[in-house]
Amino acid sequence: MSAQPVNPNLPPDHVTVFIDGVELAAPKGSMIIQAADKAGIPIPRFCYHDKLAIAANCRMCLVDVEKMGKPAPACATPVMDGMQVRTRSDKALKAQRNVMEFLLINHPLDCPVCDQGGECELQDLSLGYGRSVSRFAERKRVVADEDLGPLVATDMTRCIHCTRCIRFTAEVAGTYELGGMMRGENLQIGTYDGKPLTTELSGNVIDVCPVGALTNKVFRFRARPWELIAKESLGYHDALGSNLFLHVRRGDVLRTVPRDNDAVNECWLSDRDRYSHQGLYAADRATVPMVRENGELREAEWDEALARAAQVLRDNGADRLGILAHPATSSEEGELLVRLAAALGTGNLDHRIAQQDLSACSAPFAMAVADIEHADAIVIVGSNLRHELPLVHARVRKAVERGAKVHVVNPVDFEFTFEVASKAIVPPSRLASALSGVPLGDASRAVVIVGGVAEAGAHAAAIRDAAASFAGANNAALCRIPQGANALGLSQAGVLPASRDALAMLREPRGAYVIYGIEPGLDFADQALAMQALGDAQVVAFSHFACESTRKVADVILPIGLLPEIDATLVNLEGREQRAVAGGKLPGEARAGWRVLRALGGLLEAPGFDFTELAQLRGTLARRAWEGGKAATPAAGEGGGLEVAAGQAIYRVDAVLRRAAALQAHPLNTGARISLAPADADAAGVADGAMARVATARGAATLPVVVDPRVAAGCAWIESGHAATAPLLAAGKLEVTRA
């Protein structure tokens, strides 16, 4: 006869456990530490992390369990019905203090100079569980440091072997780059081969490290934690919109750390979002207004620059004006651009500056990001998902660990950190047709993810239609990745054409342009076309950087703040509206973009610009419907040669990333190059590592060659964000010859 439950009114599959006299209901199979955490009962720990597998190797969480002779690790002891647990008994406290004494035996006494001081878990717990005097008189061990690359600094003598970093790289990042070498007191944590970390999530090992063994190399020794103020902000380099804190001292953003949100980024952060703040302080940051006089740009006062900008817009109203915005522009700024366009009578307004087919705008994911890890079939179409959305890639990995099957349709056999059930590696023109051959079987929770390689290419419309048909036929959720951090928010705000779209504005040059947050030399799908059109027109540039390409085309430069420096609203890929608050101070004379637009609208006596505070503007934000447009004609897609398959370089997505020195030194930042299948390289007479001349209808470039069997035959893989590859992105076809 089975024992009766202690509490018959429990939810299904729950048991009753008593911790320090508090009666709790806990799921069967869960651990004591999980029940205690849910009830707010503190248990010290080092190796336990709620997002990582249980290791139970630090033993700091030993507790006193009734009817168990020895103290038990709370992180690895399952709850049982009627279990009595004491976390503060003499037995438990003695065990915890003894463990702390062992942990401190080899730990260096460098707290006053340690860069982790003030936010160190070992320091905090040693205050409560450590002895005032050490009984250890022998020599402490010393461990040589290892160079893990430009992002993570090491001081491995401090390591207490909690293995959190090992488990993170194995379970979440999936790269298995860190491990334990040797045994016992000789155990060391490292990479074994001595190479830098290559995962795009490497900065998270800093967060999980409970001591100062792994720290932020960019932030190291720049400030003490108690000097910093945390400001809530968002990641703005991809459409996920990761939640984060900016750590600010006297207006300078010194560090970025994750802000927990299980529905978006959990407790993780991509390296791209963590280290991009370096780019805020680049030497070519736009800090003062500038106007062109006698062919040269000179510094000016705000009144003069705004008056000149207003005059340019008055002289080139209606159809003579084109307005182009970066897809990371905030919703508030987007709303004001829409009002400005309406006041000036122009329908030439668009944010899709890096796409070649503009027949559709962004749409929210049909499946929540958090639900992707519970899918049983995932189809990835035209996306290097690991580089495009690192934390969504991590969700897909979790789904695979749960048994999901992943199918890939791509022009390159990109490296993922999970097993792929089937793959079709074909040129971009065949992605749509190849999708129909994907076997989904009897999947009940399927999702189709369409990425930037497809969305930004010349065949986007065909791929979108094929993906929609495939998803409909297989009862799958269609998730098209918006091409920009706020592409969805700008689409809702109406930053879309009523007449000419972005490409049409450039192919049929206007008399004047407003470019908003754009680095014109690198951000457009067709750089040659853009620079020619802008160079022949009058240009008002709302700019974060006074870079060479901006100086070349702009008649007026109005310096504006980047997202970490302003209050802003972004809409992420699932339609989630999120707010960021101003963290860093604006450089020099720069102003928040909405303030500059408000002032310009006031000079033009435009309606809708009579507010004084951002809250007033937010109260009038509108959501506008868009009917869609005609598919763009692929440029230079005819004739012989190799098809162009292009995607964004992971650390050169936007102007800020391109100026973050640590990210530019990362191994994943490979530089400008062209990757060819072996047969295509042989046909062109080029070898791996050789220089090749790449000719297109748009221009030519000389690039190093990578012979890569992962590239589909008949196409060439190039990455955007480099000046050398800019002429090739919209080419359609290219010819490769030996340089």
Residue ranges and CATH numbers for the domains of the chain are 14-103 (3.10.20.740), 137-281 (3.30.70.20), 290-355+487-618 (3.40.50.740), 369-480 (3.40.228.10), 642-738 (2.40.40.20)
Note the pLDDT of residue 630. 60
pLDDT at position 1: 31
What are the tens digits of pLDDT across the range 97-156? 999 999 999 999 888 899 999 999 999 999 999 988 888 888 999 999 999 999 999 999
The Cα–Cα gap between 563 and 91 comes to 52
Strands (E) in 545-595, as ranges, are 556-559, 568-571, 577-580
Q: CB of 720 within 8 A of CB of 652?
A: yes
> Among 163-167, 699-703, 719-723, whose mean pLDDT is lowest?
699-703
Percent above pLDDT 70 for the chain = 97
Q: Report how far residue 274's alpha carbon sits from residue 257's, in angstroms, rounded to the nearest whole number.
A: 6
Pairing of the two strands 446-450 and 377-381: parallel
Distances (CA, A) of 709 to 41, 78, 373: 55, 49, 30
| Helices assigned H by DSSP within 83-149 | 90-103, 121-129
Segment 704-726 mean pLDDT: 95
**pLDDT tens digits, residue range 164-173?**
999 999 999 9
CB of 167 closer than 8 Å to CB of 52: yes
Using CA atoms, how far apart are residues 568 and 334, in angstroms rounded to an integer? 11
In order of 272, 303, 315, 321, 579, the CA distances from 268 in angstroms are 12, 44, 50, 43, 19
Q: Which pLDDT tens digit goes with each residue over 273-302?
A: 999 999 999 999 999 999 999 999 999 999
In this prediction, residue 4 carries a pLDDT of 64
Average pLDDT of every residue of the chain: 93
In 3D space, the residue among 686, 675, 683, 685 whose CA is nearest the CA of residue 725 turns out to be: 675
Average pLDDT over residues 682-693: 94
In a 13 Å sphere around the CA of 485, the CA atoms on its Cβ side amount to 28
Distance CA 691, CA 688 (A): 9
pLDDT above 90: percentage of residues in the chain? 88
Residue 627 has pLDDT above 70, yes or no: no
3-state secondary structure of 650: coil
What is the structure's pLDDT at 629?
65
- pLDDT-wise least confident of 1-10, 385-394, 647-656: 1-10
Q: Are 308 and 555 in contact (CB under 8 A)?
A: yes
* Pair of tokens at residue 375: 């899918």
- Please report the pLDDT score of residue 524 as a whole number: 95
CA–CA dist 420, 326 (Å, integer): 34
Q: State pLDDT tens for residues 498-532.
A: 999 999 999 999 999 999 999 999 999 999 999 99
Tokens (6 digits) for 334: 């987007």
Closest CA to 343 of 621, 608, 618: 608
Token pair 């430009």 is at which residue? 150
CA neighbor of 650 nearest in space, from 417, 386, 409, 395: 386
Q: Looking at residue 636, what is its pLDDT?
A: 44
Quick one: 403 exposed, middle or buried, by C-beta within 10 A (0-12, 13-18, 19+)?
A: exposed
Please work out, in degrees rounded to the nearest 5, the angle formed at the alpha carbon of residue 575 by the alpha carbons of 569 and 580.
20
Q: What does the pLDDT average to over 214-236? A: 96
d(CA 431, CA 38): 47
Residue 86, pLDDT score: 96
Beta partners for 406?
378
pLDDT at 8: 73
| Band of pLDDT at residue 192, cut at 50, 70 and 90 | confident
SS3 641: coil
Using DSSP's 3-state secondary structure scheme, residue 408 falls into: strand
